[in-house]
Structure 1
Amino acid sequence: MSKPTRTFLSFAISLFIITSTSLNAFAQPYEARNFCRDSGIIFAFFNGVQTTIGEANRALNEFRRIHGNERADGENIRYEVMYNYTDGLDDFVETFEQRVLEQEQILAGRYELALEIINGGGKWWQRLAELATTLPETRDDFINWYQAKIVQSLTSLAGNPPTITNYSEHQSRVDTWIVEGKQILMVAHSQGNLFANSAYGYASDKIDNEALNLVHIAPASPTTNGPHRLADKDLVINALRASGSVVGITDIIPGYLNRPGGLNGQTDILGHGLLEIYLNPALGLGAAVVQNIETELANLQPPETEFEAETGFFTATLTWNGAGDVDLHVYEPSGSHVFYQAMTGTSGYLDVDNTVANGPEHYFAACEAEKLQAGTYQVGIANYDRADGRTASLQIASFRDGVLGTRSVTLGPPTGDNPSHIMFDVEVVEDSETGEFEVIVQ
């Protein structure tokens, strides 16, 4: 079974888009609103151990504040969290409640003080210690448990490092950036280095080395793919060294009692925190980390790519594991059915169509307010031919929020132009007061 030739289709569609855009430029009675900021560089942050999504986003905002939204040459930078969840994070919450909150009634219901206890506390801690005589011992007991728990988690993960199969969400995001021709800087802290190494290895097989760099911060791994920084008094990595090899120390920092507060005003008794230690502007280490990142940003070069995919208000990226022809289908709110035979819809476009192996296929919804439609976009996939038994992965991401969902499915027999699986309902909602749009995945 074979498909119609698509070269002429693609050319005709491109010509139609260019012509329509040119005509619309004269017809628009108002200044067009564009919801997307074109960015040639992706700053991808891989968070550390025992980090919540909120904390990871706080760190990302600090990187954005430090490095800005543009490189020195004017190239725009877009920041995203490549979040990884720590096994045992729920145990951490439960243990804090058992070891601290239940023992000290003065702290009842105050879980938000957990990380402050680890980070030293400041004046509020001194006052609480006066009111609760066992509090210092309780803190020390909890910190010892916390350190052991982190080391156990990192040791376990290092022994079973991330693989392409285990971490398909990160790799699907990398596929989208590559097909869109982005320059990629990965920055990883602690546990995030294990995930970043996997993503880097995956990306390096598909993209020019000049378009991909990685900076390691307190790496919980003996393997590096770029410059690294490690403090001598990082007790977490020092504990890992006792059970296996880690990278060498690069910087000397003061002892805990003489350590200045970091970006969040805290000090981290374990010497491992990103905001407290490694981005601390009062430490030479903080300046060195920033310089490493600036250097790697400056060294990035645009990749050579066979694709010319666009960044959309939201995107759908389809990949699969091997030979075969798997098709991406999008049903837009207007009723338009976007797929290889009709690559231009009312609101979006199928701008990459792969007929040989692995993918990707790529759909993007328009960033222009006058073109983007509110409503439900159904996104499905079909084994057009030769992909029986293949695992297909589909990822939805928005310009504003990054990855919204990733799902995989094992394909059955060919179904031609009829999708066998509807993977996502993507809801685009318009705020009637502000005119802003939001993407919600169902």
Structure 2
Amino acid sequence: MKHSTIALGIVSALTLAPAAEASLSGCTFQGQGTLQTQVYFANGINTKYADALIASDTLRSIYKGPLEGVEENSTYQFFPAYNLSQGFTTDVIQVFQQKMQEDPDGSIAYMVYDMLQAGLTNDAIRQTVAIAVTDGYLLAAALTDELLDDLADTMAQLSADAMKDLNQVNDLHSGLYADALLNGKRVLVVAHSQGNLFTNSSLARVIEMLPEHKESIGYFGVASPAAETVNGADYVTAEDDRVIQLLRVSETVLPANIDNDPGLLHDPRDFLNHGFLESYLDGRLSSRERIDSGIIQLANTLKYPELIAGEGAIRATLTWGDQPDVDLHVFEPGGAHVYYRNPQGSDGTLDVDDTNGFGPENYYVACNDVSAGTYKVGVNYFNGNGPETASVTLYLGNGTTFGPRQITLTEDKGSAGNNSPRSAFSLTVSDDGQGNALYSVE
């Protein structure tokens, strides 16, 4: 039976098996020995990946140089923590689901859902909302026949799609953040709009997973629809942000805290006064100064976490949801099967194992221990009571990253699944003729 406690720690180099004669030099990237911070942009609803990437790149262009200039030997990397859009209506439903999770008794949006399910007419729904909510006539006016009919016709499927996407995004984001912390990197998130709701959930989960790293992860919220912040996070929301104003009619939302109106002749904002780049990050707006100071404050106060997970030529990490146990498995070129019963392989080591839900788990091969041949990375659903999603990320010694790849697991297999894990990656390593590793990933 599998041991029921978390085994976290780095296996000492003195305990590693000697490298095989066929080992290659597998690392060409730089970064060891530097103070590293991962900066993520968490986007709002109805956002294409290309636009999230533009926002992340804009943050890089503004902040990378100044932040690295403050602290010697520090590096900052910028990435999107992408919230996939399922379309405007589904995204809106997803926000309502997140608000219901925040406060099940305080969500007027779910009151509308209940009335739709009960078969009330559109006029009856609007009349009920207008009476039940302070200034409810504003929300009632927004509940057009088209929107209510669309919700009624497609509510069940949209709700299922939105909830599935919500859970997958939470799993992905918490996995990204936990993985960086295990690898000794601070995590700084800049969240916009719905991204604040995802960030609250993800940070709360990561802090539950890695409470010792609570002071190494933080975020700054922009145009937040959330009712609260997690881990003492600061935020900025404009008084005339029309998106947040409308949501505030039906939901509990953090108060607006800035007058962001630069005057009619010098206003670069979009019509809703809500967009991240044009309505908050533009240097002509008061919000920009608040964002600058918030990011600098985090850069000055977040602690660098202790390195727990090893890295090198190959590194595979696993995270999942709240089911008790999913296991990381690696089959090495020489035939070694590395997993919880055999954490030390011929090449690499399973140095982080978890059995209490969420993960993470970590396998790595040191830079000079990688062998020519194929490494097969997979997962086994060891113990749980329902479907689960595993997220596996592969990091290589040439600085490239693959994933996270998500694997849907329908039921637990116990130890019977150890010899046939679900495949996540197949990595083939070859010799470039000079003793250096070349990687090919499927």
Q: Which amino acid aligns with 1:310?
A: E
> How much has 1:188 moved relative to structure 2?
0.3
1:167 and 2:163 matched: no
Distance 1:311 1:298 in 2: 29
Identity, % of aligned pairs? 25
> For the structure 1 residues 318 and 212, does the alpha-carbon distance in structure 2 shift closer, same or farther, using more than 3 Å as the test?
closer
Which deviations, in whole Å up to 9, do the C-alpha atoms of 1:140-193 show, x marking residues without a partner? xxxx99xx99xx99xx99x98997677322223233234334322222001111
**Which residue of the partner structure matches residue 176 of structure 1?**
179
Distance 1:229 1:249 in 2: 7
> How much has 1:429 moved relative to structure 2?
8.2
Q: Are the counterparts in 2 of residues 333 and 375 from structure 1 also a CA contact under 8 Å?
A: yes
Distance 1:86 1:313 in 2: 32
**Which residue of the partner structure matches residue 34 of structure 1?**
28
> For the structure 1 residues 284 and 255, does the alpha-carbon distance in structure 2 shift closer, same or farther, using more than 3 Å as the test?
closer
1:395 and 2:399 matched: no
Distance 2:42 2:179 in 1: 17
SS of the residue corresponding to residue 76 of structure 1 reads strand
SS of the residue corresponding to residue 298 of structure 2 reads helix
SS of the residue corresponding to residue 414 of structure 2 reads coil
1:275 and 2:289 matched: no
Which deviations, in whole Å up to 9, do the C-alpha atoms of 1:392-431 show, x marking residues without a partner? 6242244645743122314444336833332313446899
SS of the residue corresponding to residue 415 of structure 2 reads coil
Which deviations, in whole Å up to 9, do the C-alpha atoms of 1:96-155 show, x marking residues without a partner? xxxxxxxxxxxxxxxxxxxxxxxxxxxxxxxxxxxxxxxxxxxxxxxx99xx99xx99xx
**Which residue of the partner structure matches residue 203 of structure 1?**
206
Query: Which residue, out of 31, 41, 51, partners 2:47?
Result: 51
Higher RCO (C-alpha under 8 Å, 6+ residues apart): 2
Q: Which amino acid aligns with 1:37?
A: G
> How much has 1:227 moved relative to structure 2?
0.9
> For the structure 1 residues 66 and 430, does the alpha-carbon distance in structure 2 shift closer, same or farther, using more than 3 Å as the test?
farther
**Which residue of the partner structure matches residue 244 of structure 2?**
237
176-185 vs 57-66, greater mean Cα deviation: 176-185
**Which residue of the partner structure matches residue 80 of structure 1?**
79
Distance 2:50 2:429 in 1: 24
Matches within 5 A, 1:392-431: 393-398=390-395, 400-401=400-401, 403-415=403-415, 418-427=418-427
Q: Are the counterparts in 2 of residues 236 and 272 from structure 1 also a CA contact under 8 Å?
A: yes
SS of the residue corresponding to residue 211 of structure 2 reads coil
> How much has 1:346 moved relative to structure 2?
6.5
Matches within 5 A, 1:316-395: 316-319=317-320, 321=322, 323=324, 326-332=326-332, 335-340=335-340, 343=343, 348-354=348-354, 359-364=359-364, 368=367, 377-382=375-380, 391=388, 393-395=390-392
Distance 1:243 1:388 in 2: 35
> For the structure 1 residues 279 and 408, does the alpha-carbon distance in structure 2 shift closer, same or farther, using more than 3 Å as the test?
same
1:220 and 2:222 matched: no
> How much has 1:337 moved relative to structure 2?
3.4
> How much has 1:213 moved relative to structure 2?
1.4
**Which residue of the partner structure matches residue 290 of structure 1?**
292
Q: Which amino acid aligns with 2:62?
A: I
Q: Are the counterparts in 2 of residues 380 and 422 from structure 1 also a CA contact under 8 Å?
A: yes
Which deviations, in whole Å up to 9, do the C-alpha atoms of 1:205-233 show, x marking residues without a partner? 23343222121101122222311111233
Q: Are the counterparts in 1 of residues 391 and 404 from structure 2 also a CA contact under 8 Å?
A: no
Distance 2:246 2:357 in 1: 45
Distance 1:337 1:161 in 2: 33
Q: Are the counterparts in 1 of residues 223 and 236 from structure 2 also a CA contact under 8 Å?
A: yes
Distance 1:377 1:352 in 2: 18
> How much has 1:245 moved relative to structure 2?
3.5
Which deviations, in whole Å up to 9, do the C-alpha atoms of 1:238-288 show, x marking residues without a partner? 222333333222332336852355xxxxx4222211111211112232122
> How much has 1:320 moved relative to structure 2?
6.3
Q: Are the counterparts in 1 of residues 376 and 425 from structure 2 also a CA contact under 8 Å?
A: yes
Q: Which amino acid aligns with 2:31?
A: R
Structure 1 gap ranges (5+): 93-143, 262-266
Structure 2 gap ranges (5+): 92-141, 152-157
Q: Which amino acid aligns with 2:59?
A: F
> For the structure 1 residues 419 and 180, does the alpha-carbon distance in structure 2 shift closer, same or farther, using more than 3 Å as the test?
farther
> How much has 1:17 moved relative to structure 2?
4.8
> How much has 1:290 moved relative to structure 2?
1.4
Q: Which amino acid aligns with 2:260?
A: I
SS of the residue corresponding to residue 177 of structure 2 reads helix
RMSD: 4.7
